[in-house]
Structure 1
């Protein structure tokens, strides 16, 4: 059979039908996709319109705000990074080759002990005072310049007010002359106190040389030891009583009395530090030599050497209260720094005189002529907060920075960490440890360590309480004999409230803690300055009590007034 030409087979027709069907399906899918795209375009247009509404604009503004904050934060971080780099960079020292924060260990002043139950010791090393390093950065130097401007304003204010009121001006000189009156007598008392410390060294040297000549654990040696110990205690008692008697007999003004009493306490702490540090070390060395002699059957005992007089003399003038046979020294004296530091001391004295003349004396010199009202007392305390904190800062800068750095430069004393960054303290525990490192080192070395290691083994609470008690008593002792009355405001605030705040704020480590510290410092300075000023002028304007002894302890400012 022959097939008809031009006719396709069924399989080919089936393939063509399936092909057409697929083509139709693809066209339908394409049209569906095109429709979806059109719908998406319409949705995008709606989104754009929605973005133009109030909510969209608000979202855009928030995003812009976030972007701006991020840029500011980045710039702030860059600035802080630049400051830290400057702190870590090398700076020219005063001959000691110091670098600012050269290592993380630089401002650590304790050397850990390897023995259990023994606390760490003071470590001396070459370093600048913190403000000395910070003032090399222009941002911190500006703060110093602000205080200089305030001094200039106070100077002009004092001059103008004096000229308007009296037609003449004294620029704080009268206040300084009244406060530092009879200063030649102060020099004479100081010379006698300093001379007595040299006599103490002679007696101590005699004890050291004679002790080694006596057999160990014998009655003559015990008599010598206990006799010299009793003599040392009598010396300390006389060293406290005689200068006070001279102050009262000569009737020294308050500031001159403060100078004598502060120098008296300083020398008392130094002599105690010398004997306490040297005597046990000499006795231990002698005991070790004796043990070696007994083991080797050879006499190598010898006498333990007393530190030379030059070491003792240097310690008596060095700006530290912890004794060492040697200290890190600088290579030479920078006389320019010496002159400028002592010039700053004089300028700060005038600064404080201006503050007293402008803010304190006018408000308190007539105190006692009118009844004391609670309203007046509250206003007085709050009005003296700013002058009080200003006097506090001036006292810190004058004594712990300018005077100490001037003395350190003059004596080539290289370790000048007389304070730490107490202004950053977030707790009173940190504040008391950092604001006066010189006194804190003495209290820690000779009071806290002895209490913790010997008297009350490992009792931190009792050791801390003893430190605060000793410090508060001597603070109140200085103020009581300087102003001639016992008004235990400092004793209660420092030894009472201050001790409580140490335990209450010990774990505070946030910015709120620093605000609290500064707020309480301002309030405390206002309370101290206000109450002591009231009592001082009440002693001038009010008649004394009939009993002269009770008159020293009973506040006149509470009861006295003139109608």
Structure 2
């Protein structure tokens, strides 16, 4: 049937019906006509319903396909955010070119999370984190069972932790003294900057004033370096307390140098009642800015830093809980895997074992436990501890490290491992040597950076253990520097090589320092105290 037929017939029938009704009101209507009209009306309604249904289904399908495509695009963007996170050049860019006077790039502060904080949003990375928690639980159960079955009492590493933090009250009082002296240094710097304008420029009085305060600063830093170290030797603090005090000492020294180095140029160009930038209206920043810098987790001074809007106390509590968990984790590793290797060194029942066998067993037995301790130390200090204080201080730039675990060269590993210290070395050592002392050179400043870093690492270890055994200095400042120039980024198998060298190096250092520590416990002293501090006692034990 044609499309126009039902409508035309319908009209004709309506006209015929109209004529019949108008012609004779009493004339009866033909039932066939009524039936035909009903069928035609029904077909027309069905066709209209079919057309509306097809149109509605088409619109619904189009809308559903559009929503599906949008969800897929959002999912793809989310996956890119999760899996290509470390390649976000803008978010993890650490330095920018200066706008004025050229020169080397400068430290850039911006609001961003720590890399692991972002990576933990990926369920696969979160699963690895959960695996470490399970390992901690297994070590906890292992230690508990061992203590109950072998020792007869439950220890759980508490004795080792308690011994390591003996004398912590004295350490805390020394820290308060160091902090007070640092605040006193700010007052002296403010006095120097505001009073130097009393003399005419280039006059003898101003030169004496400036050089007198410079000598005082050198004396202060020297005293600040020596007094805590002497106190550690006299008080015989255990390793954890000693290391905590020494790390705080070095941190405050680096903070002091950063503040003075950043604000001396400002004080030198200061003129009273000058017009211009408000930042140059005073020779010294306010005390509140200095106090904030003293506790904020960065070593590069700025008058202002990016800040968060509020403190997330649950995040702070979780970070400190992680710190406590890592302390127990490390205690378990030492008690179950490391201490048993070395604690008999130098005893009579251990004298018949050849030195070569002791070294091989110690080195290979320490590789995996030592690497776990290294990873725990990294996570405890550079992630949990730093993030906790950053949240407390509302400090928004949480880039305390980068993806050092993907490094394919030693140079990349050193750059990415500890961004906080690396920024200080770059800003106040490398840049100053490259732009002021050795202009245009790169090799010399690079070597100076490695030497300064290696010296202070060895200083912390020497006074923590109370003996000078410069194996870390040789590994870091000797072998490490050589590998920086021999290995290149993206070399085939570079990441495997870096991890292999890292594990081997940790095993060797753990072996040497472990033997030396227990040699000083089990072997008698044969030299005077000063010589004994510098000469390894493990070389003179009766079994060697």
TM band (smaller chain): 0.7 to 0.9
Distance in 2, Cα, partners of 1:555 & 1:213: 56
Q: CA deviation at 1:245?
A: 1.5
1:281-360 to 2 correspondences below 5 Å = 281-286=266-271, 304-360=282-338
SS at match of 1:212: helix
Q: 2:186 aligns with which of 193, 201, 205?
A: 201
CA deviation digits over 1:125-168, x for unaligned, max 9?
Answer: 00000000000110110010010011001000000001111211
Distance in 2, Cα, partners of 1:508 & 1:210: 51
Partner of 2:89: 104
Distance in 2, Cα, partners of 1:222 & 1:266: 30
CA distance 1:115–1:331, shift in 2 (3 Å): closer
Q: CA deviation at 1:432?
A: 0.5
Aligned residues: 467
Distance in 2, Cα, partners of 1:143 & 1:124: 30
Partner of 2:473: 491
Contact 2:266 2:283 in 1 (8 A): no
Q: CA deviation at 1:100?
A: 6.5
1:270 matched to 2:255: yes
1:472 matched to 2:441: no
Partner of 2:160: 175
1:500 matched to 2:493: no
Q: CA deviation at 1:113?
A: 2.5
Partner of 1:86: 79
CA distance 1:559–1:387, shift in 2 (3 Å): same
Q: CA deviation at 1:87?
A: 4.7
Distance in 1, Cα, partners of 2:393 & 2:144: 38
Partner of 1:16: none
Q: CA deviation at 1:554?
A: 1.2
Distance in 1, Cα, partners of 2:492 & 2:388: 34
Q: CA deviation at 1:305?
A: 3.4
| 409-418 vs 218-227, greater mean Cα deviation | 218-227
Contact 1:209 1:303 in 2 (8 A): no
Partner of 1:156: 141
Q: CA deviation at 1:213?
A: 2.7
Partner of 1:367: 345
Q: CA deviation at 1:286?
A: 4.0
CA distance 1:521–1:483, shift in 2 (3 Å): same
Distance in 1, Cα, partners of 2:460 & 2:393: 27
Q: 2:176 aligns with which of 187, 191, 206?
A: 191
Please provide the CA RMSD for this pair. Answer: 2.4
Contact 1:117 1:453 in 2 (8 A): no
1:279 matched to 2:264: yes
Q: CA deviation at 1:376?
A: 1.9
Question: Normalised by the size of structure 1, how large is the TM-score?
Answer: 0.79
What are the ranges of 5 or more consecutive residues in structure 1 without an aligned counterpart? Answer: 1-78, 91-98, 293-299
CA deviation digits over 1:90-145, x for unaligned, max 9?
Answer: 9xxxxxxxx96796311101011256761111010000000000001101100100
Contact 1:212 1:303 in 2 (8 A): no
Contact 1:215 1:221 in 2 (8 A): yes
Q: 1:442 aligns with which of 410, 424, 429?
A: 424
Partner of 1:386: 368
Contact 2:82 2:119 in 1 (8 A): no
What are the ranges of 5 or more consecutive residues in structure 2 without an aligned counterpart? Answer: 1-71
CA deviation digits over 1:44-84, x for unaligned, max 9?
Answer: xxxxxxxxxxxxxxxxxxxxxxxxxxxxxxxxxxx9x9787
1:240 matched to 2:218: no
Distance in 2, Cα, partners of 1:562 & 1:491: 27
Q: 1:250 aligns with which of 235, 241, 252?
A: 235
SS at match of 2:515: helix
Q: 1:458 aligns with which of 440, 463, 467?
A: 440
Q: CA deviation at 1:482?
A: 0.7
Contact 1:452 1:458 in 2 (8 A): yes
| 102-111 vs 337-346, greater mean Cα deviation | 102-111
Contact 1:88 1:102 in 2 (8 A): no
Contact 1:277 1:323 in 2 (8 A): yes
Contact 2:270 2:283 in 1 (8 A): no
